[in-house]
Chain A
Amino acid sequence: MIDPREVVSREKFAAIKYIIPVVSGKGGVGKSVVSTALSLALADRCKTGLLDLDFWGASAHILLNASNEFPEEEKGILPEEIGGVKFMSVAYYTQDNPLPIRGREYSDAFLELMAVTRWDDTECLVIDMPPGMADPFLDLLQYVKNGNFLIITTSSILSSNIVSKTLKILKELDLKIFGLIENMCLTEDGNSRIRELANSFNVKHLGNIPYYQDLDINLGSWQDFLSTDFFQKIKEISTRLEL
């Protein structure tokens, strides 16, 4: 048996100049909000896409206020364009229902979406990853050979401990890492432990993002999201990415 989706999925990833998987290992650190903001910020610089691979907890579609309709079909599936970003998510097809699938099914859905989605001239693809090191993370490592990882952590020791394990794997495999973002900081300078963590893995500490208590009220509309201090902070950090 030959799975026809594998070859084209590899080709599609390889054709994109910059792939930025936003990872952590730890859940609840703000990967989806950072991924979405980053894609909107990068859309001013290059043709950008956002792929939500968090099938169990897809949420980028909420941040972008994506359509409830299926994306258009034309020799494949054309991602919906929102705020200058080409967006694809399994949420278009689950109709806001839960998706209780195991890893094997996750891998199938991942390959299916990649095989049929037309990223065309996309130069930069931001990937919102689920937490953990199970099938989604391993599928990504298997099919994406040109990723520049962006690591998200909070100042908490519970987050930094798990992030250190993610960094260990990425370094062990000699994968490129754009840097680390310290999110939801309660102090302006962040936590020195996070800077030490970045230094110990020879990874850039790209910046601290404060904990914005009022961020949530501006989620659900990408236009309102652009006006937040959070977005401005991500936009500033995005200029430090070497694209």
Chain B
Amino acid sequence: MHEWSLAEAVLKSSVKEAKKRNLRKLLEVKIVLGELQGIEEEIVKFGLDSLKKGTIAEEADFIFINEKVTFKCRNCQNRWTLKEANINEHTIKESIHFVPEVVHSFIRCPRCGSPDFEVVRGRGIYIKEITGEDL
């Protein structure tokens, strides 16, 4: 479960940001999970709850926000969703789960066939917002 390493990354980054903002403790961390990476929310949550002990995030609530994918073709400006991308093969889903950018190895713009597209939203994990108590 590589979600554990992502949980570790979220915790370390939240704590570092909190210290930068002179926060005494973290109260809430809003985490966005992009649909493309298919991260297991429960595993990230379990990781965060285990790792937060003894840190300034010990009492923090971790709020998860799921973000749907939008692909946009750089060639013809077409926009499409993950559902429309129709990725069914398990090993391809797994590959994208580890490194979302490899989606470029497996799909093309459904309108013009171009491999040159961007993931406008819903790529992977990021921290949207942290809140806490001032020193």
Contact = CB atoms under 8 A, between A and B. Distances in A.
Nearest to B15: A7
27 contacts: A2-B127, A3-B127, A4-B126, A7-B16, A8-B5, A8-B8, A8-B13, A70-B95, A73-B2, A74-B1, A75-B4, A76-B8, A77-B2, A93-B96, A93-B105, A95-B91, A95-B95, A99-B104, A100-B116, A105-B118, A108-B100, A109-B99, A109-B100, A109-B101, A109-B102, A115-B5, A118-B5
Nearest to B98: A93
Interface of A: 1-8, 11, 70, 73-77, 90, 92-95, 97-102, 104-106, 108-109, 112-113, 115-116, 118
A102 B99 CA distance: 15
A4 B127 contact: yes
Of B5, B6, B130, the most chain A CB neighbours within 10 A belong to: B5
B95 to A, nearest CB: 4
Interface in B84-100: 91-92, 94-96, 98-100
Nearest to A102: B116
Which 9 A/B pairs are nearest by Cβ-Cβ distance? Answer: A76-B5, A97-B105, A4-B9, A109-B101, A2-B127, A100-B115, A75-B4, A4-B13, A93-B95
Contacts of A98: 105, 115
B130 A2 contact: yes
Contacts of A70: 94-95, 98
Contacts of A73: 1-2
B100 A116 contact: no
A105 B125 contact: no
A62 B44 CA distance: 34
Given A7-B13, A105-B104, A75 B6 contact: no
A75 B99 contact: no
B5 A2 contact: no
